[in-house]
Chain A
Amino acid sequence: MVFAGFAASAPLLAAEEVNLYSARHYDTDFALYDTFTERTGIKVNLIEGGSDALIERIVNEGEYTPADILITVDAGRLWRAQERGVFQPVRSEVLEQRIPTHLREPAGHWFGLSKRARVIVHGKDSPLADAVARYEDLADTELLGKVCMRSSSNIYNLSLMSSLIDALGAAAAEEWAKGVVANFARPPQSNDTGNLAAVASGECGLTLANTYYVGRWLASSEEADQRMVDRITVVFPNQADRGTHVNISGAGVTRHAPNRDNAVRFLEYLTSDFAQKVFAEGNNEYPVVGEASGPITALGTFKEDGISAGLLGQNQAEAVRIYDRAGWR
């Protein structure tokens, strides 16, 4: 790799490269990058880290950042990054044609590249099966002592609450949160996988989890994981009305991207049929373009909530306040 020499204030210019700052950490993504390089001659340099740390880095690096693209998970984080001035608007016919409108930022600051649904999971053959068809049902008093959740501060729960604020209004969303808290079997703890395991073991009646965590068990060759899957049932909430809450992994071109054209080309590549299959399957997610593939298809198809992903970030502050007032730690 050769970099052109540069003076203190000049951006890093290298026509053959694109620098990714990515919060995705899946080995399958390397195949994506290698194929892009083979097809275009553009080398992909990958810097991995946590979403918030990468956002902070890009902000600190300012106009001197070598970052061309930030890839992160959850629309709420994409929104945060946009608010911090991380992205620049991109107009691309390819991106606008391939990616559904509600899964990209209207001015092109970021684009959804894969999807995950936040689903209700209860024990197989559970008597709760008939009681939960919607997120709203989680607040019903007949679920007293049955509900296990992770912390409200987790970005996935914040984004779900953001969608509920949009669907129900803030007041009703807060009443819902209070109802769910009243049904807790235990204080919020662990993560999606931990709560799924608690449902599978019978410790908890039900929980909420992202579909890819179930997908990992489905994809696993470990007997223990297969036993877990056999002990749970996934419910896609709100199929009779607005549809199930869906969130995204996504990316945007950074504001000071030194290799902007390469970055746009890379994003466009990620919407290709090949890349969509690898990008989604790599984490047992759903593609934003085309049909799902891989083990996750065992969960079936579902109607998704068409809320604009951008709203998931915009409502985040209110979501935090609602959870706090509801006592959902």
Chain B
Amino acid sequence: MNPVRWKTIGVLGSAVWLVTSALAGCSGEEGASMKPADSEDAVTLTQPLVEGEGTGGEGEGAATAGADLATDDVGYLTHLGLIRGHLAVGYALYKRELPLLSETHMKHPQEEIYASMVPAFNARGCDGFANDLESLTAAVTARAAQEEVAAIYEGLTANIGRCEQSAGTDDPAVLAKVIENLLRTAGVEYQIGVIDGVIDNLHEYQDAWGFTQVANAWARSAAFADSASAAAVAAQLQDIITGLDGLWPSLNPEGGVDEDAARLFGAAARVQIAALPLRN
């Protein structure tokens, strides 16, 4: 289905909220949780205190295929969400001292997604973050210290947040659609990654986790607090995503995973239905 175009409303600033990620620093970790309270890998959505106008691959592009990212806020935020997702899983793997696995994820945004977004960055007055992507990739490739990688990662995600400001990050309807797109894309990735309980493509399996992490973060955005109805929708979205626990018993599992991408596709559909009131 084609993404819906949403008109954004003006933003006169947004609160900074930061979910700090403790560095796990160990391998053989517990399952990769979606529960924010105990997740060491919660994605950071950094929205600086700025006055903005805000207004509005692969299978990863399917959700927003044909979208004009310069004007389509949902498509734009979805693409940035995919970038965040790749980086999130890359960072999580690096924290788990799995640098080789981390590298491929860190390289992905620049190699596969970033270039297609530059026209949109220009149109939206965002400086982009190419240098940050290169720095992070270089640090991971060089096996830099965890602290150094963490600092670069946090700076990069802050810059991604600045680029997100030009879209409807204060519009719950936009965010709900982004969440839906990310979950559906995660489903596609998981479907490639896990076949009949066997990890057939570890990278895609991990990507699915990354995209779901970003969806999880957006579901907890302050934008949903603007009204009781939006807050109620957010509560449902959080429940839906939390219910996906178990799909990733580990980011680097030994053996198979007895799970089904259908859970992600079903979750995306339930998000779409839960968010219907936001369209009115």
Q: Which residues of A are interface residues toward B (Cβ below 8 A)?
A: 1-3, 5-9, 12, 19, 45-50, 53, 57, 60-67
Q: CB-CB < 8 A to A12: which residues of B?
A: 270
Stretch touching chain A among B23-31, B46-54, B165-173, B260-268: B260-268
- Contact between B276 and A1, CB atoms less than 8 A apart: yes
- Contact between A60 and B262, CB atoms less than 8 A apart: yes
Alpha-carbon distance A67/B265, docked complex (angstroms): 12
Q: CB-CB < 8 A to B273: which residues of A?
A: 19, 45, 47, 66
Type the 1/0 row for B191-210, where 1 means its CB is closer than 8 Å to any CB of A: 10000000000000000000
A-B complex: 8 closest residue pairs judged by Cβ atoms:
A64-B266, A62-B262, A60-B265, A49-B1, A61-B265, A61-B266, A8-B243, A64-B262
In the complex, how many angstroms separate the beta carbon of A299 from the nearest chain B beta carbon? 34
Given contacts A50-B1, A60-B261, A62-B260, contact A7 B270 (CB under 8 A): no
In the complex, how many angstroms separate the beta carbon of A27 from the nearest chain B beta carbon? 15
Q: CB-CB < 8 A to B265: which residues of A?
A: 57, 60-62, 64-65
Given contacts A5-B239, A8-B243, A8-B244, contact A61 B277 (CB under 8 A): no
Q: Is B112 an interface residue (CB 8 A)?
A: no
- 17 A–B contact pairs at CB < 8 A? A1-B274, A1-B276, A1-B277, A3-B236, A6-B239, A8-B245, A19-B273, A47-B269, A48-B1, A57-B265, A60-B262, A62-B265, A63-B262, A63-B266, A64-B267, A64-B269, A67-B269
Report the nearest B residue to A65, measured CB to CB.
B266
Q: CB-CB < 8 A to B245: which residues of A?
A: 8
Alpha-carbon distance A6/B265, docked complex (angstroms): 16
User: Do most interface residues of chain B lie in helix, strand or loop, or is the interface mixed?
Assistant: helix
In the complex, how many angstroms separate the beta carbon of B271 from the nearest chain A beta carbon? 10
Report the nearest B residue to A53, measured CB to CB.
B1
Complex partner residue of B274 from A3, A49, A64, CB under 8 angstroms: A3
What band does the interface of chain B fall in when counting residues whose beta carbon is under 8 Å from A? 20 to 34
- Contact between B191 and A60, CB atoms less than 8 A apart: yes
Report the nearest B residue to A43, measured CB to CB.
B276
Alpha-carbon distance A162/B156, docked complex (angstroms): 58
16 additional A-B pairs beyond A3-B239, A57-B265, A64-B266, beta carbons within 8 Å, are A8-B244, A8-B245, A8-B246, A8-B263, A9-B263, A19-B273, A57-B269, A60-B262, A61-B266, A61-B269, A64-B262, A64-B269, A65-B265, A65-B269, A66-B270, A67-B269
Alpha-carbon distance A65/B269, docked complex (angstroms): 7
Q: CB-CB < 8 A to B236: which residues of A?
A: 3
Q: CB-CB < 8 A to B55: which residues of A?
A: none
Q: Is B81 an interface residue (CB 8 A)?
A: no
Report the nearest A residue to B246, measured CB to CB.
A8
Q: CB-CB < 8 A to B244: which residues of A?
A: 8
In the complex, how many angstroms separate the beta carbon of B184 from the nearest chain A beta carbon? 9
Chain B, 5-35, CB within 8 A of any chain A CB = none
Chain B, 240-280, CB within 8 A of any chain A CB = 243-246, 260-263, 265-267, 269-270, 272-274, 276-277
Report the nearest A residue to B262, measured CB to CB.
A62
Given contacts A5-B239, A6-B243, A8-B244, contact A61 B276 (CB under 8 A): no
Q: CB-CB < 8 A to A7: which residues of B?
A: 243
Q: Is B90 an interface residue (CB 8 A)?
A: no
Alpha-carbon distance A57/B271, docked complex (angstroms): 14
